[in-house]
Chains A and B, each alone.
Chain A
Amino acid sequence: MGGVGRVLRLLWPLYAALLCGQAGAQSPSSAEEWGLERLMSEFAGVQRASARFVERKYLKILDRPLELTGTLEYRAPDHLERRTLTPRAESFVVDGDRLRLEDARGRKRTFALQDNPVLWAFVESIRSTLNGDLSQLQRFYSIALDGGREAWRLSLTPKHPRMSALIDVIRIAGSGGRIDTVEIHEAQGDRSIMTVLEGSP
Chain B
Amino acid sequence: MTLGGRAAVLVWMAFLAGCAIVASQARFTTDLSAFLPGSPTPSQRVLVDQLREGVVSQLLLIALEGGPAETLSRVSDALADRLAEAPEFVYASNGAQERLQADGELLLRHRYLLSPGVTAERFTVSGLRAALEDDLALLASPMGTLLGPVLPRDPTGELLRLLELFQPEGGPPKREGVWFAADGERALLIARTRAAGFDIDGQERALARLRGLFEQASGAENASGVRLLVTGPGAFAVASRAAIKRDVTRISLLAVIAVSVLLLAVYRSPRLLLLILLPVITGATAGVAAVSLAFGSVHGVTLGFGATLLGEGVDYAIYLFSGGAGDRRFAPADGRLWRTLRLGVLTSACGFGVLLLSDFPGLAQLGLFSITGLLVAFAVTRTVLPQLSPAGYRARPLGRLGPALLALKQALPRLRVLLLIVVALAAGWLALHGGSLWDDRLEALSPVPEADKQLDEQLRRDLGAPDVRHLIVAFAADEQAALETAEQVGAVLEGLRDAGALMGFESPALILPSARTQQQRQLALPEEATLARRIVEASQGLPFRAGLFGPFVQDVASARQASPVRLTDLAGTGLRVRLDALLSERRDAWVAALPLRGVKDAGAVAAAVRDLGLASAHLLDLKQETQALYRSYRDQVLRFALTGAGAIVLVLLVSLRSLRRVGDVLAPLAAALVVTLGVLTLSGDRLTLFHLVGMLLVVGVGSNYTLFFERQTFAGGDPERTVVSATLCNASTVIGFGLLGLAATPVLNAIGATVATGALLSLMFAAVLAGASGRRPR
Complex CA gap A17/B144 in Å reads 9
Which residue of chain A has its CB nearest to the CB of B135? A1
Are the C-beta atoms of A7 and B164 separated by less than 8 Å? yes
Residue A59 CB within 8 A of the other chain: yes
Give the residue of A12, A87, A114 whose beta carbon is less than 8 angstroms from that of B146. A12
Q: Contact between A11 and B97 (Cβ–Cβ < 8 Å)?
A: yes
Within 8 A of A (CB), among B129-165: 134-149, 151-152, 157, 160-161, 163-165
B104 close to A (CB within 8 Å): yes
> Does the CB pair A115–B544 fall under 8 Å?
no
CA distance in complex: A64, B136 (Å): 12
Partner of A66, one of B149, B171, B543, B546: B543
Interface centre among A59, A64, A117 (most CB of B within 10 A): A59
Tell me, in angstroms, the Cα distance from A60 to B548 when the chains sit together.
10
Complex partner residue of A63 from B136, B165, B543, CB under 8 angstroms: B543
In the complex, whether B100 has a CB less than 8 A from a CB of chain A is yes
A6 touches B163 (CB 8 A): yes
Q: How far is the CB of B504 from chain A (nearest CB, A)?
A: 14
Q: Does A98 sit at the interface, judged by CB under 8 A?
A: no
Q: State whether B134 touches A1 (Cβ < 8 A).
A: yes
CB-defined contacts of B152 to chain A, threshold 8 Å: 61
Q: Does B545 contact A (CB under 8 A)?
A: yes
Which residues in window 1-40 of A have CB below 8 A to B? Answer: 1-18
Give B433 Cβ to nearest chain A Cβ, in Å.
47
- Residues of chain A lying within 8 A (CB to CB) of residue B142: 15-18, 82, 90, 92
Taking a contact as CB atoms under 8 Å apart, the answer to whether A87 and B160 are in contact is no
Report if B568 contacts A (CB, 8 A). Answer: no
Q: Which chain B positions have C-beta within 8 A of A84?
A: 140-141
**What range describes how many residues of A lie at the interface?**
35 or more
Question: Are A60 and B148 in touch, CB under 8 angstroms?
Answer: yes
The answer to whether A115 and B97 touch (CB under 8 A), given A92-B142, A190-B148, is no
Q: How far is the CB of A90 from chain B (nearest CB, A)?
A: 6
When A2-B164, A3-B160, A61-B545 are in contact, do A10 and B171 touch as well, CB less than 8 Å?
yes
Within 8 A of B (CB), among A98-140: 103-104, 112, 114-117
- Contact among A3, A11, A114, A190 with B145 in the assembled complex (CB-CB below 8 Å): A190
Q: State whether A57 and B146 are in contact (beta carbons under 8 Å apart), knowing that A2-B164, A11-B163, A114-B175 are contacts in the complex.
A: no
Residue of B nearest to A186 (CB): B145
Q: Is the CB of B170 within 8 A of A114?
A: no
Q: Which of A57, A64, A92, A162 contacts B177 (CB 8 A)?
A: A162
A115 cross-chain contacts in B, Cβ below 8 A: 173-175
**Which residues of B, 155-190, contact A by the 8 Å Cβ criterion?**
157, 160-161, 163-165, 167, 170-171, 173-177, 180, 184
Contacts of B544 in A (CB 8 A): 61-63
In angstroms, Cα B545 to Cα A1, docked, is 21
The smallest beta-carbon distance between B240 and chain A, in angstroms, is 35
Measured between alpha carbons, how far is A162 from B74 in the docked complex, in Å? Answer: 13
How far apart are A93's CB and chain B's nearest CB, in angstroms? 12
Q: A3-B161, A61-B148 are in contact. Are A12 and B104 (CB under 8 A)?
A: yes
Tell me the chain B residues, 267-323 only, with Cβ under 8 Å from chain A. none
Report chain A residues within 8 Å CB of B160.
Answer: 1-4, 7
Q: Does B164 lie within 8 Å of A15, measured CB to CB?
A: no
Chain A residues whose C-beta falls within 8 Å of the C-beta of B139 in the assembled complex: 57, 59, 62, 66
Give every chain A residue within 8 A of B170 (Cβ-Cβ). Answer: 6, 9-10
User: A13 near B97 (CB under 8 angstroms)?
Assistant: yes
Query: Is A1 a contact partner of B157 (Cβ separation < 8 A)?
Result: yes
A2 to B548, CA, bound (A): 23
Are A57 and B144 in contact, CB atoms less than 8 angstroms apart? yes
Residue in B closest to A3 when the chains form the complex, CB atoms: B164
Is A166 positioned at the interface, with any CB of B under 8 Å from its CB? yes
Query: For residue B134, which residues in chain A have a CB less than 8 angstroms away from its CB?
Result: 1
Chain B residues within an 8 Å CB radius of A197: none
Segment 139-172 of A: residues with Cβ below 8 Å from B: 162, 166
Q: How far is the CA of A117 from the CA of B140 in the complex (A)?
A: 22
Residues of A within 8 A of B141 (CB): 84, 90, 103
What 1/0 flags go to B29-57 for Cβ under 8 Å of A? 00000000000000000000000000000
- Candidates B97, B138, B144, B176; contact of A12 at CB < 8 Å: B97
**CB closest chain-A residue, reference B149:** A188
Query: Which A residues fall within an 8 A CB radius of B?
Result: 1-18, 57, 59-64, 66, 68, 82, 84, 87-88, 90, 92, 103-104, 112, 114-117, 162, 166, 186, 188, 190
Instruction: Give B residues with C-beta under 8 Å from A.
Output: 97, 100, 104, 134-149, 151-152, 157, 160-161, 163-165, 167, 170-171, 173-177, 180, 184, 543-546, 548
A-B contact pairs, 30 of them (CB 8 A): A1-B134, A1-B147, A2-B161, A4-B147, A7-B146, A7-B163, A8-B146, A10-B170, A10-B171, A11-B97, A12-B146, A12-B163, A14-B97, A14-B145, A15-B143, A17-B143, A18-B142, A57-B140, A61-B545, A62-B543, A62-B545, A66-B136, A66-B543, A87-B137, A92-B142, A103-B137, A103-B141, A104-B137, A186-B145, A190-B148
Give 14 A-B pairs besides A7-B167, A66-B140, A117-B175 with Cβ atoms closer than 8 angstroms: A1-B160, A3-B160, A3-B161, A7-B164, A11-B104, A11-B163, A12-B97, A13-B174, A17-B142, A61-B152, A61-B545, A63-B544, A82-B142, A190-B148
